[in-house]
Amino acid sequence: MLLGLSRKANLGSSYMDTKLLIFETHPIQYRAPVYQVLDRMLPGQFEVIYASDYSVRGQKDVGFNEKIAWDVPLLAGYRYRVLNNEKGRGIESWSGMSAKGVDRIISQTRPAAVLLSSLSYAFSWAVYLGAVRRGIPVWIRLETQDEAFARGKLKNILRFLVYRLLYLGVSKAFYIGKLNREHLLRHGVPMERLVAAHYCVADHLASASDTEKQRLRDDLRTRLSIGRDDLVIAFFGKLIEKKDPGILLRSLGLLKLEGTRRVHCMIVGSGELEPALRLQAKELEASNGVRTVFTGFINQSQLPSYYLASDIVVLPSHRMGETWGLVINEALQAGCGAAVSEMVGCHRDFSGWERVRVFRHGNSEELAAALADLAVYPRKLDWARQQMQDYSVEAAAMAIFRSLEAMPKP
């Protein structure tokens, strides 16, 4: 078992003083920043328990079709333990993250509350049952919503009953967005137990000046042979059926813009659909003059420049489990316009924003119209910055902090 400490002062701290135990299957690039900020608010007073650290060690990602290890610090700045509970198919199966050691940790620590971000593994269920059995409040912050998948009537009924029963043991639910909030209310979590802690990503551009952002934008465009005033419409993510990147190329073939501004498509990512997309891109350039740049997989620390170099980011996912769509958070932080299908979970949160458009999934004509609409806006690197404060890691950490501070003192 690996033990990590956020600072030397914690070396003498007692685990019996832990207010909150957070249980995660593995370090995740959009959750670790929340815990790093929370540790500055509650130094040494919570601990994150990971079933596995495979995302730090590196592992073949089926979606990206290559070995991935995130290049940002996911195990720094807060206290954690890694249980090494991964087995068999790992995160791909219910039993792939085992419950080994979970009950002992809860029993020894006796925290004021436990926080779960998943209920899909044996590991998570052991936490839930262990806490309920001891009368320890269970908090959740899940991606779950009711529109991500198409389900039959019987499956919907069974699913409703399971969640209804499960949420009886939940003391507090941090909802990540509007669809998640509706799910929780629909399945019996009362309003007074709900707290907003929107899905978020670290803003690596927060401290950059407008001059620095413009330099990063111009430098990358120069490297990619893209003109300063050209229009760049981009896709970020895995090149898989669920994400439907091919519709972007089809829509660009239908795009009609006023003037002579050159259009580029930038595809940032990798996956099984890449060979077919490259063929499609060649046809698009031959027929419409739209040049497509394939960057391959780009790791976290390098992504901000690619968002800055883009003007519009598209996430056209099918109804195959796109519960949120964090690339849109990253795009908005960089001041891009965004076009998302109505199957992307965050569409309900961002649809009313000035430079966000929603289209019916699979409808290339609607997407082309949305792109034409967004192309009219001049590039503004910080148009969404104020609105994104509610979708920041600081806001999510503050929601957890305030909930702990509001608990009755022992």
Residue 8 pLDDT > 80 = no
The pTM for the full model equals 0.94
Kindly state whether residue 8 falls inside one of the protein's structural domains. Answer: yes
Domain shared by 331 and 214, yes or no: yes
Domain shared by 11 and 83, yes or no: yes
The structure tokens listed for 74 are 């996911």
State the pLDDT at residue 62.
67
Domain shared by 236 and 381, yes or no: yes
Strand order in the sheet with 337-341: 291-296, 263-268, 231-236, 312-315, 337-341, 356-359
Domain shared by 300 and 347, yes or no: yes
The rounded mean pLDDT for the chain is 94
Residue 188 pLDDT > 50 = yes
State the pLDDT at residue 316.
98
Mean of the pLDDT values across residues 163-180? 98
State the pLDDT at residue 61.
74
Residue 55 belongs to domain with CATH number: 3.40.50
Residue 58: how many other CB atoms lie within 10 Å: 11
Kindly state whether residue 194 falls inside one of the protein's structural domains. Answer: no
Domain shared by 119 and 246, yes or no: no
Domain shared by 369 and 249, yes or no: yes
pLDDT digits (tens, 9 = 90+) for 204-244: 999 999 999 999 999 999 999 999 999 999 999 999 999 99
Kindly state whether residue 115 falls inside one of the protein's structural domains. Answer: yes
Mean of the pLDDT values across residues 18-22? 95
State the pLDDT at residue 269.
96
Residue 74 pLDDT > 50 = yes
Domain shared by 54 and 116, yes or no: yes
Question: Which three-class secondary structure state does DSSP give residue 167?
Answer: helix
Domain that holds residue 68: 2-141+392-405
Which DSSP category does 149 fall into? B
Q: Please report, rounded to a whole number, the percentage of residues in the chain having pLDDT higher than 90.
A: 88
Rounded to an integer, what distance in angstroms lies between the CA atom of residue 154 and that of residue 273?
Answer: 34
Mean of the pLDDT values across residues 169-188? 98
State the pLDDT at residue 65.
67
Pairing type for strands 2-4 and 80-82 reads antiparallel
Domain shared by 224 and 302, yes or no: yes
The structure tokens listed for 52 are 């596995």
Distance of CA 171 to the CA centre of its chain: 24
Domain shared by 69 and 40, yes or no: yes
Kindly state whether residue 305 falls inside one of the protein's structural domains. Answer: yes
State the pLDDT at residue 58.
74
Q: Are the CB atoms for 49 and 23 separated by under 8 Å?
A: yes
Q: Are the CB atoms for 75 and 56 separated by under 8 Å?
A: yes
Kindly state whether residue 186 falls inside one of the protein's structural domains. Answer: no
pLDDT digits (tens, 9 = 90+) for 332-344: 999 999 999 999 9
Which DSSP category does 100 fall into? T
Kindly state whether residue 253 falls inside one of the protein's structural domains. Answer: yes
Domain shared by 134 and 109, yes or no: yes
State the pLDDT at residue 4.
61
Domain shared by 121 and 217, yes or no: no
Kindly state whether residue 62 falls inside one of the protein's structural domains. Answer: yes
Domain shared by 346 and 383, yes or no: yes
Pairing type for strands 59-61 and 66-68 reads antiparallel
pLDDT digits (tens, 9 = 90+) for 355-389: 999 999 999 999 999 999 999 999 999 999 999 99
Mean of the pLDDT values across residues 6-30? 70
Lowest mean pLDDT among 51-55, 137-141, 175-179, 394-398: 51-55
Residue 346 pLDDT > 90 = yes
User: Where does the pLDDT of residue 299 fall: very low under 50, low under 70, confident under 90, or very high at 90 and above?
Assistant: very high
Kindly state whether residue 121 falls inside one of the protein's structural domains. Answer: yes
Mean of the pLDDT values across residues 109-125? 96
Residue 233 belongs to domain with CATH number: 3.40.50.2000
Tell me how many domains the chain contains.
Answer: 2
